[in-house]
Amino acid sequence: MRCQQIEEKLNDYLEGYLNPPEAEAIEKHLQQCSNCRQLFLALQEVRLSLQKMPQITIPPSLVENLYQLPATQKRRRFSWHRLLSHPLPQQLTAALASLLLAISFYSLMPNRQALVNYLNQQFHLGYHRISRLVTKAEYLTVNLEKVGDSLKIPIQSLKEEKPKD
Amino acid sequence: MVNTYAPQIFNLAYHFTGTREEAEDLTQEIFLKLFSSIKKYKEEMNFTAWLLTLARNHLIDRYRREKKAKSMRQELDENLLTEASELSPENNLARKEVQTLVWQALDQLSPEVRLSIILFDILGKTYEEVAEILNIPVGTVKSRINRGRLQLARLLADRRPEKGGLP
């Protein structure tokens, strides 16, 4: 076997995963090749060092912090920032802000009476237009009922009617 | 939950980053994620594997985000290293030296290979468990561990002045 093939199997050899003929081939190569032997020895040391690596004791202060995390999260859940960053409160806030702006604009306006008169005028004008539209609609409804029957043209007569030149 | 799983997460983060401070921050961040995404956990899942997958994703994300400003791995606290009673004081010292070199060399591994090595060799997970946590086939886990150990062995052989065997 070549050195590269040996390298690929060194871990399996170390873990005892190879079958006897493969293991024998590795051992034979390691006896002959000093580079692979050095690598194998280093690999053994690496494996042992990793497996003996210390497990660190978790600091008590960190454990205490971790126990407090759910409570911190609950507080965060009910914070104003989170509430205001929600889409619906954002829209309500915008509407409220617009209303406040309009009120402050009105209350600070020097010529307030003119604005009141203008709004009154516009309101009455609008009311008058709407009442005219309602009257027209009522008139049309009554008249349509009267002429309703005469509008019912038999389909047959429409089919027979030829287009004029 | 904290008592059972926090030491594992803390150790995973510590061996991955190499600093206690970062490990403490990461453990808190991972538990915050755990509390906010616990609804996604289903009963049929292996909880330890699910939590370690969450931790793995967070560690990798953090590594990718901060790799440019990455802090140096701290010195391994030699007081934590156990002495083997069958070895002489000199050989114990040599073994601690090797362990410190291996610890420092972990930073040379890619994050995915490093995580595989930490989970398998340091935290003692099986190939199958590592595969489940990293969401990769068992064959890939074996190949990553093989690659990582060989890389560490070469680094160790290069750094050591004398190329002897095990003490």
The identity of residue B93, as a single letter, is L
Asked whether residue A22 is domain-assigned, the answer is yes
DSSP string of A124-158, one letter each residue? HHHHHHHHHHHHHHHHHHHHHHHHHHHH---HHHH
Instruction: Out of B24, B142, B157, name the one closest to residue A62 (CB).
Output: B24
When comparing pLDDT for B147 and B64, which is higher? Answer: B147
> How far is the alpha carbon of B54 from chain A, nearest alpha carbon, in Å?
16
The fold of B79-159 is Arc Repressor Mutant, subunit A (1.10.10)
- Which two structure tokens, joined as six digits, stand for B69? 């400003």
Asked whether residue A45 is domain-assigned, the answer is yes
Contact, A58 vs B31, CB < 8 A?
no
* Number of folded domains that form chain A: 2
Per-residue pLDDT of chain A in tens (165 residues, 90 and over written 9): 688 889 989 999 998 999 999 999 999 999 999 999 999 999 999 999 999 888 888 889 988 888 887 777 666 555 666 666 666 777 888 899 999 998 888 788 777 788 888 889 999 999 999 999 999 998 888 888 777 666 666 566 666 666 655
Domain coordinates in residue numbering, chain B: 2-66, 79-159
Q: What tens digit of pLDDT does each residue of B23-61 get?
A: 999 999 999 988 888 888 888 888 888 989 999 999 998
**Do A53 and B121 count as a contact with CB atoms less than 8 A apart?**
yes
Nearest residue of A to residue B147 by CA position?
A8
DSSP string of B81-114, one letter each residue? SPPPTTS-HHHHHHHHHHHHHHHHHGGGS-HHHH
**Do A11 and B80 count as a contact with CB atoms less than 8 A apart?**
no
> How far is the alpha carbon of B35 from chain A, nearest alpha carbon, in Å?
7
Touching check for B81 and chain A: CB below 8 Å?
A: yes
Whole-model pTM: value is 0.67
Give chain B's radius of gyration (CA, Å).
17
pLDDT of residue B40: 84
Contacts of B91 (CB under 8 A, 6+ apart): B167
Using the predicted structure, report yes or no on whether residue B167 has a pLDDT greater than 70: no
Give the alpha-carbon dihedral of B133, B134, B136, B139, to 10 degrees.
-80
pLDDT of residue B90: 73
Using the predicted structure, report yes or no on whether residue B97 has a pLDDT greater than 80: yes
Residue A41: CB atoms within 10 Å: 18
The fold of B2-66 is Rna Polymerase Sigma Factor; Chain: A (1.10.1740)
B98, B115, B126, best to mutate vs chain A, most A CBs in 10 Å: B98
Asked whether residue A122 is domain-assigned, the answer is yes
What range defines the domain where residue A22 resides? 3-51
Asked whether residue A72 is domain-assigned, the answer is no
**Nearest-angstrom CA–CA distance, A125 and A130:** 9
